[in-house]
Amino acid sequence: MPLRIGTRNSALALVQARWVADRLGDDVEIVEVTTAGDRGQAVSDKSRWVSTLEVALLAGEVDVAVHSAKDVPGELADGLALIAVPTRVDPADALIGYGSLAAVPSGARVGTSSLRRAAQLRTLRPDLEVRELRGNVPTRLAKLDAGEVDALILAAAGLVRLGLGDRIGARLGEFVPAPGQGSLVVEARAGDTATRARFHPALHDVGAGMELAAERALAQTLGASCHTPMGARAIGPGGAGAPAISGGSDGRRRLAHVKLTGWVGLPDGSEWISDRAVGTPEDAARAVAEAMLAVGAGDLLARAARMEEATP
């Protein structure tokens, strides 16, 4: 029986699932699942993209599900586990329409559906008009081309995966991306060791897995949700198959480290907090969270959530 890969039926999700399938050989079947987010149902911003796929996994209708890591909530459904993190694509936010953020004229309309991107944009360029713009990547690009907005901010990874990298005007290094942005994850039933073994080492990138672990741990420790502007970027030991342990100058073997940056802010861009640390994924996440919470990140996140709830 072929390995059944569950995926959303959007253009980007299908490209991602096929990328995974191509690296597993011929005995693979892609199963398209329409999620609550694709139907436009009013459910939480992250769970709407993955919850239906998780139901299909638990029901045995698919063997694995492929997700964009940034869409996966911090708490997985009982009985499921993330079993592989493929090599990460560029995690940066991308500006479409201009060659740099500084080049965007004052008063220009910039489209995004992300609270985090809107908050960081308002912090850096309060003179710009942020427009909420939803839809898949091709739909948003079409709205830009039709003049509904003057510029867009999207994930660079999605554009690259769709073969639309030439639309990128600039990569916004001044933005801290969403936890997991640029990464894919493979989710399966917990305890399915045979399926897990099929992905290791064929598709699992140890360095990318460490980065994702640090970013997700920071979001969970801070108590951030999809309704609060929060960014996290970990830079791991680098390279596909990077070792989870490395040798030190003293000859001892120790866990490799990541460099982790965290960011939280208010949706209107008026206040923000950021910090960074180096350590194992768990230690770095703990250090960044403790430093940010010590200077009011918890209160800032609570206020951000209230502001979002009050938005019509």
3-class SS of residue 230: strand
Q: Which residues pair with 84 in a beta bridge?
A: 186
3-class SS of residue 284: helix
The two structure tokens encoding residue 92: 């940066």
CA distance 75 to 223: 11
Rounded to 5 degrees, what angle do the CA atoms 208, 213, 217 make? 150
Contacts for 290-296: CB closer than 8 Å, 24+ residues apart: 292/222, 292/262, 292/264, 293/222
Name the residue among 281, 276, 264 with its Cα closest to residue 212.
281
Name the residue among 217, 192, 205 with its Cα closest to residue 280.
217
The Cα-based distances of 29 to 7, 21, 60 in angstroms read 11, 8, 14
Residue 71 annotated as catalytic: yes
Name the residue among 28, 13, 3 with its Cα closest to residue 66.
13
3-class SS of residue 58: helix
Catalytic residue, candidates 22, 27, 63, 71: 71
What are the residue numbers of the active site?
A: 71
